[in-house]
Every structure is written in structure tokens, then in C-alpha cells.
Structure 1
Amino acid sequence: MELKEENLINIHHFLPHRNPMLMADYILELTPEKVVTSFEITPDNIFVHNNQFVEAGLIEHSAQTSSSILGQSFFENPESNTKVIGFITNIKKIEVFGLPQVGDKIISKASLISKYENICNIFCETFLDDQLLIRTQISLFIQEIES
């Protein structure tokens, strides 16, 4: 997938995470049922060990990619000061097939399986080029918090 600047969506409009815990750079595609994100592995990332992005980082990246689907309802106005808190409520399945290296750019594709109010069940796969790195099925809960 070719990344063109004019097609990229700022992830900050859909996730409350900030550095050093932000594990997605851009949203490449976003609908109420699907999201595609990109993330470049940098040497200073907290989940890099021995030049590899470790399993915990892949899981966090999958969760953040997935939460963009639910998060878009909280961040519809980029100028708003909305504050949310989110949790992984359940991980039904995780399969790790490989680990990316520093400098690699990974692409994740997540799709909504089910949603009830602020809880959703999402399927996510992460790729390095054509190589599948991780496959997850995860449940998330997101709630707006009062300022």
C-alpha cells in the first residue's frame, strides 16, 4: 500500500495516546467498521529490544489500531478537548508469526466483529509487506471521562 501524504488521517484525532505510548502513526483508511493504520518502528520505541519490535508492542499496536474504530465516535471534532479512557477487556486470540525490525513500516487492518454501546469485538492483522506478523481478536471498552 503506497502512503500518500494527502490520503493520511492524523491518528491523534482518534486516539488519546501520545508518546511514548502511541503505537500508530497514520490512519490510511477509516470507516465505522474498518480501519487501516501504518506505524514505523523507531530505535527509541519503548517496545524495541535488540533491534526488534517485541510481541507486547505488536499487541499494543493492534489494540490502538482496533480502538480507532470505536474512538472515532468520541473524536468527531478534531478541535474538541474530549478525554477518554480505554481498556482491553478480552483477548480471545493472539497468533504471532514474526517480529519487525527497527526501520520497518508495518500496516494493520482491523474490522469490527460486533459492538454494544462502548464495547466492541475486533479482528486485526498486522503485516510487514506481504508477511503476516500478528493476528488478534480483541475486545475493547472506551469511555469519555469528565474533565
Structure 2
Amino acid sequence: MEIREDHFINIHNFLPHREPMLMADYILELTQEKVVTSFEIKEDNIFLHNNELTEAGLIENVAQTCSSILGQSFFENPEADTKVIGFITNIKKIEVFALPKVGDKIVSKASLISQFENICHIFCETFNNDELLIRAEINLFIQEVKS
């Protein structure tokens, strides 16, 4: 997939995460059933070990990518001070094939399998160029926190 800056969507509008826990930089594509994100592995990432993003970092990237599908309904108005909390409720299946290194730009692609209210089942794959890094099926729960 060609990454074109003129198509970037600021992921801050769809996720509550902030540094150092933000594991996705941009949304490249977003619909009600699909999302594609990009993330550059930087040397100050908290999930690094020996200049590689750990499995936990890959899983967090997958979770944040997936939650953009469900989270978009909470962040439709970027001016609103919406607060949400989300959880991985189940990892149905996960396979890690390789770990990206500092400087790599990874692309994660997630597709909604099913949704019931604020709970969803999503399939996701993450790539470094054409190399498949991780494949997962996860369930997420997201809800707005009332002040």
C-alpha cells in the first residue's frame, strides 16, 4: 500500500491513547468495517528490546488499530472532550511471525468480523513492507466514561 501524506487521518481523533502508549501514528483508511494504520518504530518506544518492537508492542499496535473502528463513533467531534476506556476482552487467535526494528514503518489492516453494541470481534494483520509480522483475532470493548 502506498502511504500518501495527503490521505493521513490524525489518529488522536479516534483513540484516547497518548505518548508513550500511542502505538499508531496515522489512519490511512477508515470505514465502519475496516481500518488501516501506519506506525514508525522509534528508538524511544517503551516496547523495544534489542532494537526490536516486542510482541507486546505488536499486540498493542493491533489493539489500537482495531479500536479505531469502534472508537470512531465516540470521537466524531474532535472538539468534544470525550473520554473512553477500552479493553481487550479476548484474544481468540494470535500468530507472531517477525518483529520490526527501529526505523521500520509498519502498516496494520483490520476488518470488523462482528459487533454487538460496544463489543466487537476484529481480524488484524500487520506488515513491514510485504512481510507479515502478526495476525490476530481479538475482541474489544469500549465505553464512554461519564464525568
Secondary structure of the structure 2 residue equivalent to 1:20: coil
Secondary structure of the structure 2 residue equivalent to 1:21: coil
Secondary structure of the structure 2 residue equivalent to 1:61: helix
Match of 1:119 in 2: 119
- Counterparts of 2:26 and 2:144 in 1: how far apart (Å)? 23
Identity within the alignment, % = 78
Match of 1:86 in 2: 86
Q: Following TM superposition, by how much is the alpha carbon of 1:12 offset from its aligned partner in structure 2, in angstroms?
A: 0.2
Match of 2:19 in 1: 19
- Counterparts of 1:2 and 1:10 in 2: how far apart (Å)? 17
| AA aligned opposite 2:121 | N
TM-score by length of 1: 0.99
CA offsets 1:49-95 (integer angstroms, 9 cap, x no match) = 11000000000000000000000000001111000000000000000
Over aligned residues, Cα RMSD in angstroms? 0.5
- Give structure 1 stretches of 5+ with no counterpart: none
Match of 1:139 in 2: 139
**Structure 1 outlier segments of 4+, above 6 Å:** none
Structure 2 residue 115 is matched with structure 1 residue 104: no
Secondary structure of the structure 2 residue equivalent to 1:75: coil
| AA aligned opposite 2:114 | S
| AA aligned opposite 1:61 | N
Structure 2 residue 3 is matched with structure 1 residue 30: no
Q: Following TM superposition, by how much is the alpha carbon of 1:5 offset from its aligned partner in structure 2, in angstroms?
A: 1.7
Secondary structure of the structure 2 residue equivalent to 1:57: helix
